[in-house]
Amino acid sequence: VCLGNNTSFADASSISSGSISSYSWDFGDASALSSLQNPSHNYSSAGNYIVTLTVTSAAGCSSSISNLVTVNALPNASAGSSQIICNGSTATLSASGGTSYVWSNGANTSSINVSPSASATYTVTVTDANGCSASASADVTVNPLPVAAYSGTAVCLGNNTSFADASSISSGSISSYSW
């Protein structure tokens, strides 16, 4: 059983003659008892719980049975750090926390290489050895490439030439120039 999932309990009690008139389920976690024949219960924390079913016949006779239920914690899913890349570059996202991984782009490996043309969020579902799953996300921010351009004047040999920057970028600013 994984934390956060409802656990269904199925009554398998029998009586040789007469009928069972009541059920009492103690889920072992100090929650209210259930009088349903086949209840479900959602545990609030991982751990081992002794679940006891007490059945009572129409004649007033009772019988109980107890079994251990283990509620497993969810994996500590990680999609790795969010990254900032330039358009046309590749980002590597590395998931951890489980034994199997399924990414929102369909990949099923722990690490993926992505080259989005626009900023995107990648989500990974991490599953552990107990079959419990959790999800995590990482953002890949894509910055536009600047367009390098300049103009210059025609001059005679030996005279100074002036160059004027005409570079542009669709968003943000150009931070440095190298002539």
Contact 144, 85 (CB under 8 A): no
Whole-number pLDDT of residue 149? 87
- Per-residue pLDDT of 88-101, as tens digits, reads 999 999 999 999 99
How much is the mean pLDDT over the chain? 94
Residue 154, judged by CB atoms within 10 A of its CB (0-12, 13-18, 19+), counts as exposed
Q: Tell me the DSSP string of 21-45.
A: EEEEEE-SSSPPPB--SS-EE--SS
Range name among 28-32, 140-144, 166-170 with the lowest pLDDT average: 166-170
- Per-residue pLDDT of 66-80, as tens digits, reads 999 999 999 999 999
Contact 162, 136 (CB under 8 A): no
Whole-number pLDDT of residue 152? 83
Q: How confident is the model at residue 154 (pLDDT cuts 50, 70, 90)?
A: confident
Contact 104, 87 (CB under 8 A): no
Is it the case that residue 119 has pLDDT exceeding 90?
yes
Whole-number pLDDT of residue 102? 98
Q: What is the mean pLDDT of residues 97-115?
A: 97
Is it the case that residue 174 has pLDDT exceeding 90?
no
- Per-residue pLDDT of 37-71, as tens digits, reads 999 999 999 999 999 999 999 999 999 999 999 99
